[in-house]
Amino acid sequence: MKKKYFGTDGIRGRVGSPPITPEFCLRLGWAVGKVFAEGEKSGRAPYVLIGKDTRISGYMLESVLESGLVSAGASVSLMGPMPTPGVAYLTRTLGADAGIVISASHNPYYDNGIKFFDASGNKLPDEVELAIERQLELPMECVDSHDLGKATRIEDAAGRYIEFCKASVRRGFRLNGLKIVLDCAQGATYHTAPGVFTELGAKVTVMGAEPDGFNINEGCGSTAPAALAARVVAEGADLGIALDGDGDRVIMVDERGEVVDGDQLVYVIAMHRAAGGTLGGGVVGTLMSNFGLEIAFRDAGIGFHRADVGDRYVLESLKNHGWSLGGESSGHIICLDLTTTGDAIVAALQVLHAVRESGRSLGTLAAGMRKMPQVLKNVSVAAPAERAGSDAVRSAVAAKTEALADRGRILIRPSGTEPVVRVMVEGEDPAEVEAVADELVGVVSAAK
């Protein structure tokens, strides 16, 4: 059965347009409450946590989700602004049946979304998402007043998550003497990330920690690291850390102001773990991972597997292989031995662990991987899947792939989170890569 509302990472869209409307999200909360009540074997009412990022629409969506859940008999605990991985962690440790995150991650403030975790802090399996969608088609009925759920607030959620992040590195690990510039993207990490790095001893200059409901991801964070790079150079810092709006992506900047992307960060973590005998198998990347990462791991004798794009597919592949480290170029990095989902702060700490124990700079460690020139362009279209799979696009890709031969590769795919087709071209010659990408963008734009 094809899903109607759920995408690769929950339900997402423009606020005020279906499905991100108050009416739909009220019904969604009710449907989630009903599905988890039916699956609760102990007979008790389901217990659900709700966290959110800093978008202005979070207030509205939080209240209607709470009402929907309570009307189905579920009890709710609200956490306020909380990074996505923090919600996953607290769902697991507080014994909740589900966790909900109100966030559109790296998107602008006028978008929002609803993401879910199960009791173990994992993304919901397909069968549960389908059950929720089936429930949405039924008439909404409130339980008897005696069976209504209750709503409470977790006041120490941020402190609990800070302690979890600090515990993800070995006991006694310190960042004393390290000068860091930290960009919180005006998002959900604004009141957690600074505390983590400061309490571990680093001297931290904080950017993007004054959210106003509208400035999330605006010219800052992991999707726009230029300001961070300039600040690192101006401050003479050792490195910079850029998080995204909901705290599940991280991009870093080295001591020279050069951006270090998710592929390079995965490389740094993997090589450090391999040297210490703690890698535990190979590494999972995605179809978008730079070919240079694959070459670097091949040369180091480290297994590498490409999953479909999306952290849920990286996680699925890690579990299938029995490995613990995987990630995406965008900065979704999963350390499965430490947590159940992509966590920007935990991943950054793993990189800092490599920096401190090796005694080498981030730039030096990242230089061990030679990135192939890669161009990624987004083409806004109304029906991304149909456009990406059109005959014209497939024919053009086949012709250009044959022309590139073994000097590069092409990937065209519909985004799972935005109404765009992503065009990626990679190869040895930067000029050729750019020219091929431009030609394919034209074909995608004109295709029927």
CATH number of the domain bearing residue 289: 3.40.120.10
More confident residue, 295 or 18: 18
Note the pLDDT of residue 197: 98
- Domain co-membership, 124 together with 193: no
With respect to residue 240, please indicate whether it lies within any of the assigned structural domains. yes
Beta bridge partners of 49: 77, 99
Q: Which of 233-242, 258-267, 287-296, 364-373 has the lowest mean pLDDT?
A: 287-296
Q: Region 363-387: what's the mean pLDDT?
A: 94
Helix (H, G, I), strand (E, B) or coil at 263: helix
Domain membership of residue 61 (yes or no) is: yes
Is residue 235 domain-shared with residue 310, that is, in the same domain? no
Same domain, 246 and 287: no
End-of-domain residue from the set 238, 260, 282: 260
pLDDT of residue 220: 97
How far apart, in whole angstroms, are the C-alpha atoms of residue 130 and residue 151? 26
Checking if the pLDDT of 2 tops 90, the result is no
DSSP string for 141-162: -PPPGGG---EEE-TTHHHHHH
Q: How confident is the model at residue 309 (pLDDT cuts 50, 70, 90)?
A: confident
- Predicted local confidence at residue 215, as pLDDT: 98
Same domain, 409 and 428: yes
Range of the domain at 360: 261-346+353-371
Establish if 171 belongs to a structural domain: no
- pLDDT band with cut points at 50, 70 and 90 for residue 418: confident
Question: Do 125 and 145 belong to one domain?
Answer: yes
Does residue 298 lie within any of the structural domains? yes
pLDDT at site 42: 59
Domain boundary among 233, 260, 287: 260
Please give the mean pLDDT across all residues of the chain.
95
The separation between CA 374 and the C-alpha centre of its own chain, rounded to angstroms, equals: 21
Per-residue confidence at 18, pLDDT binned at 50, 70, 90?
Answer: very high
Please state, for a pLDDT cut of 90, what percent of the chain lies above it.
Answer: 91
**What is the pTM (predicted TM-score) of this model?**
0.90
Residues 198, 92 within the same domain: no
Decide if pLDDT at 298 tops 70: yes
Whether 429 is covered by a domain: the verdict is: yes
In terms of domains, do 139 and 200 share one? no
Is 330 catalytic? The answer is no
Distance CA 285, CA 303 (A): 11
Question: At which of 260, 289, 321 does a domain end?
Answer: 260
Is 185 in the same domain as 294? Answer: no
Q: Which of 92-101, 190-199, 411-420, 431-440 has the weakest average pLDDT?
A: 411-420
Task: Return the pLDDT at 145.
Answer: 97
Q: Is the dihedral of CA 135, 140, 143, 149 positive or negative?
A: positive
Tokens 């083409």 correspond to what residue?
379
The catalytic position among 67, 75, 105, 289 is 105
303 belongs to a structural domain: yes
Higher pLDDT pick, 44 / 169: 169
Residues 250, 277, single domain; the answer is no
Whole-angstrom Cα distance, residue 356 to residue 172? 12
Q: Residue 21 has what pLDDT?
A: 98
Residue 32: pLDDT band (50, 70, 90) is: very high
99 lies in some domain = yes
| 216 in a structural domain | yes
Q: Does 105 share its domain with 57?
A: yes
CA distance 287 to 415: 13
Same domain flag for 194 and 277: no
Which range among 28-42, 120-134, 154-168 shows the weakest confidence by mean pLDDT? 28-42
Is residue 40 pLDDT above 80, yes or no? no
CA distance 85 to 95: 16
Shared-domain flag, residues 144 and 54 = yes
Total structural domains within the chain: 4
